[in-house]
Structure 1
Amino acid sequence: MPKEARREEYITPSHSIHELKNGMAYYNYNGTHYRVFNSYEDALEFATYGGEGVTVVADFDSEEDLDRFLEGTEKSSVENNRDAAMKTIDTEIWVPNPEKEHFLQYQGQRLVSDVFSELESQVKERFKDDDEDVVFEYIFLDREFEDAKSLFPKGHICVFVLPGRNEAFRVNLCVLNTDGGYEQIASCKVWSHEGAHEVCKYIYKLFYGERGAGI
């Protein structure tokens, strides 16, 4: 059966409108035709007046197809809400320039421990209740940077996935040096290939914001 509705209205015994928790709605016509709309108001206008100019988001001939579509939009809505709470992590310290109003000046690198604390908190919060497609297990700081006084290295931050042990996958956070080498900062353990890439994309976005959305 289709997803539980937040609000329902029966135009006739066999024609009904169902509003969903994400704000969308669908129009059930005789139990044989289902049209999905961006809002309850759009669905009502379509059902009542024919809805000229109203956008039909999707159109299905079976409950099974409707269910699959609604499950996809619900998951997308949840992910968007989670990502909306994301706070970009800075690795550098910038302060107001006393000689130039409205300008900042570079003061230095942040402590690795502070950067990792923010990273760990956001990653755990983002994936704590995720479904079995991700299966995030843990994140840890590389031993080289366990010293509380270690500064975050300068360079380009990169995040990538590698096969791990026991069929798990590792998501590595590294910094590329100017000499072509790299320093590993932290790693995550994730039990699915798809999930590892989801964690990888999320961590990249934490450091680069929307610039990292397309990786």
Structure 2
Amino acid sequence: MSETAPRAFEARHVQLARALFAALAAVMITFSPDHSASVGLAVFSGFAIATGIVLLLSAWLVQPAGRRGPAILLGVFTLVAGMVGGFPALRSTTLFFVLVIAWALLTGIVELVAGIVRRREPNARDAVLIGALTIALGVALLFVSPGYALHYAIAEAGEFTLTGISIAVGVFGGYAAIIAVFLGIAGFSPRRTAEGAHGAVPADASEPARSSGGAA
């Protein structure tokens, strides 16, 4: 009974929690008229700290002994990044680029490699995709110049400036939205049992039919 009883905290709960925090980050950035480094780091900090805590808890509540390394690494990297971004006095355009790029590349590689190594496990494809998307975030931010500034005007609206930091914050918001949708779908998707996944049938299930057929 104890071996087949469902756990109170499963992989789907980790996915749904991560989806929730990513969705909150995406909404906050989308509906904020200010895409400065201060706002971007504030949103990233909250997202990273909450996600890091979930990942660290999942290492003990979800992952079996001997397979907790990736979850611990992801949780530590994410939590530390969130804490660094949580100091208002340190928030700057340079810090946003350095912190988010470093976090995205480190955690993306860890999650991608973990998914590839455990490719036969149920949630391996999710880890591969999330890892690849996170690496893509880091690479995309590498192509955004922190000093970029484009001045333009809109009739009857005024003059505006599109800066590198506003683009970078927007890119992070887009990443958070994509992650939220994907993890939400993965978390709500039905899980197949081992029997259902492999089509297994008990070995003795066909014995009565075979014996009755022989009698006939």
TM-score using structure 1 length:
0.33
Q: Which structure dedicates a bigger proportion of its chain to helix?
A: 2
TM-score using structure 2 length:
0.33
Q: Which structure dedicates a bigger proportion of its chain to strand?
A: 1
Q: If you compute each CA radius of gyration, which structure gives the higher value, 1 or 2? A: 1
- Higher RCO, 1 or 2 (CA under 8 Å, sep at least 6)? 2
